Structure 1
Amino acid sequence: MPEGHSIHRLARQFTSVFAGHRLAVSSPQGRFAAGAERLDGHVLVDAWAHGKQLFLGFDNDLYLRIHLGLYGAFDFGGDSTFMGASSIGAPRKVGEREVASDDDGGAYAGPPPPKGAVRVRLVSEHGWADLRGPTACEVITGSERAAVVARLGPDPLQDRSDGGDFAARLRRRASPVGLLLMNQEILAGVGNVYRAEVLFRQRLSPWRLGKDVREDEAAGLWADISALMRNGVAEGRIITTDPEDRDSPAEPVPVEDAHYVYKRTGLPCRRCGTPVAGTDMGARKLYWCPSCQDR
């Protein structure tokens, strides 16, 4: 599932490509025809992300709310003015990386014929975006958007988000921190990769109960998650290793060097050599180092 940094990249791309433009909105697949009709012909005012939720705001005071889920993804294209990623979302073939547009500056003839089950197509004079496979895709009002956000925890990528709020939500729960970091009501935007990697980096056992996490440890989690996710927005992929812990000095960082424990079951820990362990937690695969994360 795309994690929060990818959704913030989507918001930036929509703002860059479509904000201020009148859009033709359609549903080639047909499943979103009624919703598309409510937005068709209106101007996109802004795009905004909170955690894994994307909101596209239109000039008729309606919002397109999208949650990509496990399989949702956007494809983009356009004329020579379009310089964004060509695809953002899931699934990925290699890591968590979006490919830059390779537009050759030729004449723009409009979007190509829809391929596969395109739930929503958005088209401006200069570009287009196709959405496939989202978990959620609906038209909502401003008050409904506010209600969605109110149910979520703080987003580390929002400047106004509060690390103290995260700490309080975390420390009043008697569930393992490995579960709590994936709970969007505790912390918005973190998924399986960031969960495993930040717990390793902070040397915390995934089984430590939230109520047993000290305030300074919660502050360390928040600071590290915030920094890693901001790097993810900039790089278009999740890189959590420090240069001194990688096997190769190559740039860009090879996929096999990008993580400490995620999908490294049985391989030696990059810091202590203990085999990385893997099990299930909360219906998702959990990875950790039994030696580095023994507290």
Structure 2
Amino acid sequence: MPEGHTIHRLAAEHQRMFGGRRVRATSPQGRFGEGARLLDGLVLREADAHGKHLLLGFGEDGERVLHVHLGIYGKYFFGEAPAPVGAVRLRLSGGAGYADLRGPNACEVLDRGEVKVLRDRLGADPLRADADPEVAWRRISRTRTSVAVLLMDQSVVAGPGNIYRAEVLFRQGVHPLVAGRALGRERWMGLWEDLRVLMAEGVRVGRIDTVRPEHTPEAMGRPPRVDEHGGEVYVYRRAGLPCLVCGTAVCADVLAGRNLFWCPACQPS
């Protein structure tokens, strides 16, 4: 599932292509026909993201909001508009090209009240200027739930997924099974600030890179990572391989149905 930086990039791309322009909306697949008719011919006023949710405001005051959650299988394709091929749920087209949406978990038109309900159930997004880490900390500080689970709970922190979760815990030296209430506010703020920096870099470059300059392939004289997710990481999908910092074998387990990676030496229990 795409992590939050990808959705913020999608919002920026929609704004670049369609912002302030009248947009043609169609549903070649037919499953979003009624929603497409509600948007067809309207001007895109606002392209926004909150966590893993894309929110596109259409109409005079942006009162019709296209809400997209890609989920595991959803994908966007941008470019010049050919004839649609396959299961295209939604096509937006305008003077600058087109955007095809395939296989999303959610694709719906919401009004402003429904958008507020959605936002109210989401946690603080490290990529948003209006995010308040104190709101997340109040929840984290009261629970025995592990920090690894809390970082994946979108109602606590919106945007991070499995890669950012594993990497920020490593970078801050926090064992993934530490209970929220045992974390301490200073360590939480360290995690939050690191997430802000890492995810902002993800928006800038379009991939997840988490290693510090001294641990890049060039600095260490090692081969670059080869993985479909791309990017240089410390522990994610590196189970059994030596830690880039201390050489200890990286551990892996399954927690709440998701793979978990950490270094037992750099992240002591």
SS of structure 1 residue aligned to 2:90: strand
Counterpart in the other structure of 2:27? 27
Tell me the residue number matched to 2:155: 185
SS in 1 for 2:68: strand
Residues 1:223 and 2:197 are matched in the alignment: no
The equivalent of 2:42 in structure 1 is 42
Tell me the residue number matched to 2:55.
Answer: 55
> What is the match of residue 247 of structure 2?
273
| 1:247 positional shift | 3.0
- Corresponding residue to 2:70 among 68, 71, 89: 68
Amino acid at match of 2:184: R
Equivalent residue letter for 1:76: F
Q: Aligned letter for 1:220? A: G
**1 CA distance for matches of 2:78 and 2:86?**
15
Q: Is the 8 A contact 1:174 1:209 kept in 2?
A: yes
Mapped partners of 2:268, 2:249: distance in 1: 14
Q: What is the CA-CA distance between 1:249 and the residue it aligns to?
A: 4.4
Unaligned runs of 5+ in 1: 79-110
SS of alignment partner, residue 197 of structure 2? helix
Partner in structure 1 of residue 131 of structure 2: 161
Which digits, 9 at most, give the CA deviation of each residue in 1:114-171, with x for residues without a partner?
1221000001022100001110100000110011000011110011111222222221
Q: Which amino acid aligns with 1:68?
A: L
What aligned pairs does 1:91-170 form with structure 2 within 5 A after superposition? 111-170=81-140
Q: Which runs of 4+ in 1 moved over 3 A?
A: 253-257
- Tell me how far 1:75 sits from its aligned partner: 0.4
Where 2:89 maps in the other structure, the secondary structure is strand
Distance 1:191 1:288 in 2: 15
1:192-212 alpha-carbon deviations (Å, 9 max, x no partner): 000000000011111101111
TM-score by length of 1: 0.86
What amino acid sits opposite 2:138 in the alignment? A
Q: Deviations over 1:98-127 (max 9, x none)?
A: xxxxxxxxxxxxx10112210000010221
| Aligned residues with identical type, % of pairs | 48
Name 2:262's counterpart in structure 1: 288
- Aligned AA for 2:39? L
CA drift at 1:255:
3.7
Residue 248 of structure 1 and its aligned partner are, at CA, apart by 2.4
Is the 8 Å Cα contact of residues 166 and 222 (structure 1) preserved in structure 2?
no
Q: CA deviation at 1:282?
A: 1.5
Whole-angstrom distance in 1 between the partners of 2:157 and 2:141: 12
Aligned Cα RMSD in Å? 1.4
| One-letter amino acid of the structure 1 residue matched with residue 203 of structure 2 | V
Q: 1:71-86 residue pairs with structure 2 within 5 A?
A: 71-78=73-80
Alignment of 1:236-247 (within 5 A): 236-247=206-217
Secondary structure of the structure 2 residue equivalent to 1:181:
helix
**AA aligned opposite 1:39:** L
Q: Given that residues 4 and 190 in structure 1 are in contact (C-alpha distance below 8 angstroms), is that contact kept between their aligned partners in structure 2?
A: yes
Contact 2:217 2:224 in 1 (8 A): no
Contact 2:74 2:101 in 1 (8 A): yes
Cα distance change of structure 1 residues 254 and 113 upon mapping to structure 2, 3 Å threshold: farther
Paired with 2:210 and 2:54, the residues of 1 have a C-alpha distance of 24
Matched AA of 1:284: R
Which ranges in structure 2 are unaligned for 5 or more consecutive residues?
A: none
Tell me how far apart the structure 2 counterparts of residues 73 and 170 of structure 1 sit (CA, whole Å).
32
Q: Paired residue for 2:12? A: 12
CA contact (8 A) 2:5 2:159 kept: yes
Following the alignment from structure 1 to structure 2, what is the Cα–Cα distance between the partners of residues 192 and 292? 19
Residue 212 of structure 1 aligns to a residue in which SS? helix
CA distance in 2, matches of 1:140, 1:134: 16
